Amino acid sequence: MQLRHLQRLLAAEPALRHAKSADEHAARSRRVRAVVERLARVERAPLVIAESTVSARDGLHHERLLFESPVRGSFHGTLLAPPDTAPGPPGPAVLVLGGKNARLDQLTGDVPPDHPDRNVAEHLARAGFVTLSFDHGIGGAMDAARRAGRDEGALLAHAFALTGRSLLGALTGDALGALDVLAAHPLVDARRVGLFGHSLGAAVALHTALLTERRGIPLCAASHVGSYPALYERLLTGYEGAVLPGILEYADLPDLYGALAPAPLQLQYGTADSYLEPADARAAADSVRETYAAVGAEAEIHGLPMGHGTHVGHAADFFTRTLPEPTLSAAPPPAAGAEVPAQRIHFEVSDRRAVLDRVDAALASGILTQGPQVARFEELARPWTGADTAAVASGSAALEIALRIIGVAERTVLVPVNTFFATAAAAVRAGAAVRFVDIELDGLGMDPDALRAALDRHPDTAAVLPVHIGGIVSPALEEVLAHCRDRGVPVVEDAAHALGATLDGRPAGSFGRFGAFSFFPTKVAVSGEGGLVCAPSADDLEQVRRWRDHGKSAQGSTLHDRPGGNWRLSELHAAVGTVDLERFSGTLAARRALAARYDALLAEVPGVRPHTVPEAAGSNFYKYLVYLDPDGPLDRPLLKKRLRERHGVSLAGEVYDHLLCDHPHFASQRQQGAGEGPFERARWFARHHVALPLYPSLTEAEQIRVAAALRSELP
């Protein structure tokens, strides 16, 4: 019997159930939200109010709305507000999501409700809240004759499943759009918005709370508590449209509610509800309560002598407590939502699914390294490097391989004194003696005059490694190349920061004999771990491929002609990298637009000066660099501390705060000539710059918050 098979599956423990500490809970909550986002596959699309009819009804402000959605088309909603709302300040609001059989006009009281508590939106409006309700769109659209008595919502749920999507995901997408409309309404204080849902509406409200960027949004859920195994196998009362396919592999219903902690939560269930089992509902509620208690919060649970309904009074009291009127003395919150991090890596659900499909293809094929994904990765990178490429395990490996091909052992390699340690370390591992060169401050590149002097001091120089700091290819590079060309010294560009950056329209990495790129998670394009070597010479690239694969004399050979290394890129990392490179043109455009917005926002902020990118350089804005007033009262560590603690704004890491000659490894070699300072320009730069948060998912509101935080902390 298939029932036995189903019972065995339902009895399995969800993977994301237990968390023993607050830190574990935070990590589990993030994972639950990510799983819900992936399984829901919400097609986020802004709702547009196509029509609005305003009237007064029984003392309530009444707006009949027609929404237009590029995903769903047209559907209706109704906004209610307490009487005499318009002249006053914006007030609290609740998005009201009814059950499967709830009609919009009953929720709002436009027609008499078929149950006394059905008109929740009207009750909450009379209790002082702006409410917005809308039509789920799961009744009346299908031809009744073809339906033949079958439930329309169930048919829709099955049809959505054919596409790998869910009805719940579609309903949640509508709710997320409606939540944005409600928060933006002139009668609403956007900081004081809550969610209410009953039955199916509670499932939608729960998933909306998990997926909204409004972390901490209060949620009241009525008649939707219990365990999925009980609802869908033992009781057979679960509704197809109220679950995400595959969710029980990761989390049961109480786990989803628990992932909201410590956000305000009220759960209501009826002890006489024929759709629930009181003991199962009570056990689920206790599980949610325990999860909240583990993080020092409290979930409000009401087991009530009622059927499949709502206690409107408890709901109104809950929102009154959790959406209070701000006091005059209270400082405004820094922003709705989480902090502004220094770095945020974001893959949309469609991108994550593409990665998973490619990983699955690799696992199914058994080819886990140097296969079709790596080849595709190299192909996609080619337009951004200006030369053919070979993928390797990291940016550091890319540099070391290039230097080994040149042959730098027991000779000198010249490196800018302001760069990441890996640049110089690659030369050391390749057997070279590293010497440092000062930078110039316009493009932050290697100073040509300092380089010429260093070449004079070190006639045994085997290679020069200019670095494109912060994603800027300095115009001074042309003079650096000329000095090297005159002396026959090869150039290896460390372009770890600079994928997509240009100089006079020419891509970073295409100026020297080799270009080396990094795809580490902090970079502008990522593969997790990974690097890339580009070179105009086919022979050089063939050498790269041999070095990366233990020095094999030919692909597939068991003979080795050099001491290569395991510098291969795996198919799994390449799966991530190919997806990120496919969207890279959008990434680059977004970073440049964000930089332009910062330019405008910071124009009137005292005490900071953005770095001016040279006109010939097309920066990718790997970093958005600003200089602090050297005569200002705050030093950099104190400013960063205050921004983080007072405003929730974390600055990105500098590039760089310590010169290479000051790192312990090289400082010990100063007597041997490694540090030939004083490197005055590099020291000035290292002391005075900061890097503001900049990544494609950074919002305009977050940028405004960063600028406001700087303005409040700097004179």
Residue type, 681: R
Residue 15 lies in a domain: no
Residue 671: the pLDDT is 43
Residue 14 lies in a domain: no
Residue 579 lies in a domain: yes
Q: State mean pLDDT over 543-557.
A: 90
Residue 86: the pLDDT is 59
| pLDDT of residue 335 exceeding 60 | no
71 and 195 both lie in a single domain: yes
The DSSP letter of residue 652 is B
Return contacts of 613-618, CB within 8 angstroms, 24+ apart. Answer: 613/443, 613/472, 614/442, 614/443, 614/472, 614/474, 614/475, 616/475, 616/503, 616/504, 617/443, 617/472, 617/473, 617/474, 617/475, 617/501, 617/502, 617/503, 618/473, 618/501, 618/502, 618/503, 618/505
Residue 341 lies in a domain: no
Residue type, 258: G
What are the φ/ψ torsions at residue 534 (nearest 5 degrees)? Answer: -120, 150
Residue 292: the pLDDT is 95
With a threshold of 0.85, does the pTM exceed it? Answer: yes
439 and 519 both lie in a single domain: yes
Residue 392: the pLDDT is 98
Write the CB contacts of 464 (distance below 8 Å, at least 6 apart in sequence).
413, 414, 446, 451, 480, 484, 489, 490, 491, 492
104 and 199 both lie in a single domain: yes
| pLDDT of residue 280 exceeding 70 | yes
Q: Residue 615 sits in a domain of what CATH number?
A: 3.90.1150.10
Residue 334 lies in a domain: no
Asked if 96 and 121 touch (Cβ cutoff 8 Å), the reply is: yes
Q: Output the six-digit token pair for 472.
A: 């800027």
Segment of 46-55, 109-118, 491-500 carrying the highest mean pLDDT: 491-500
Residue 331: the pLDDT is 42
Q: What is the largest CA-CA distance in the chain?
A: 94
Asked if 530 and 393 touch (Cβ cutoff 8 Å), the reply is: yes
Range of the domain at 241: 20-322
Residue 674: the pLDDT is 54
Average pLDDT for the chain: 93
pLDDT class of 715 with cuts at 50, 70, 90: confident
Q: State mean pLDDT over 517-537.
A: 97
Residue 520: the pLDDT is 97
576 and 590 both lie in a single domain: no
Nearest to residue 428, comparing CAs of 653, 672, 654?
672
Return contacts of 558-563, CB within 8 angstroms, 24+ apart. Answer: 562/404
543 and 639 both lie in a single domain: no
Q: What is the DSSP string of 343-382?
A: ------HHHHHHHHHHHHHHHHHT--BSSHHHHHHHHHHH
For residues 152 and 374, the model is more confident at 374
Q: Quick one: 55 exposed, middle or buried, by C-beta within 10 A (0-12, 13-18, 19+)?
A: exposed
- How many C-alpha atoms does 529 have within 13 Å on its Cβ side? 10
Asked if 422 and 537 touch (Cβ cutoff 8 Å), the reply is: no
Q: What is the CA radius of gyration of the chain?
A: 30
414 and 520 both lie in a single domain: yes
Q: Residue 397 sits in a domain of what CATH number?
A: 3.40.640.10
Helix axes of 167-184 and 200-211: crossing angle, nearest 10 degrees: 70
Nearest to residue 314, comparing CAs of 299, 324, 302?
302
In the chain, the number of structural domains is 3
Asked if 205 and 230 touch (Cβ cutoff 8 Å), the reply is: no
Residue 329 lies in a domain: no
Q: Output the six-digit token pair for 581.
A: 């490179």
Nearest to residue 495, comparing CAs of 622, 580, 660?
622
Residue 9 lies in a domain: no
**CA 212 vs CA 3, 174, 204, 359, 441: distances in Å:** 36, 12, 12, 28, 43
| pLDDT of residue 687 exceeding 60 | yes
DSSP count for the chain of H helices, then E strands: 25, 22
Give me the residues paired with residue 198 across strands. 222
Which of 20-29, 73-82, 457-466, 687-696 is least confident? 20-29
pLDDT class of 669 with cuts at 50, 70, 90: low
| pLDDT of residue 511 exceeding 60 | yes
Report the alpha-carbon distance of residue 645 to residue 184 in Å, rounded. 29
Residues 25-42: pLDDT tens digits?
889 999 999 999 999 999
Q: State mean pLDDT over 338-349.
A: 91
370 and 491 both lie in a single domain: yes
Residues 210-221: pLDDT tens digits?
999 898 999 999
Q: Which of 540, 556, 583 is the last residue of a domain?
A: 583
617 and 550 both lie in a single domain: no
Q: Residue 36 sits in a domain of what CATH number?
A: 3.40.50.1820
For residues 66 and 113, the model is more confident at 66
Residue 7: the pLDDT is 86
Asked if 556 and 541 touch (Cβ cutoff 8 Å), the reply is: no
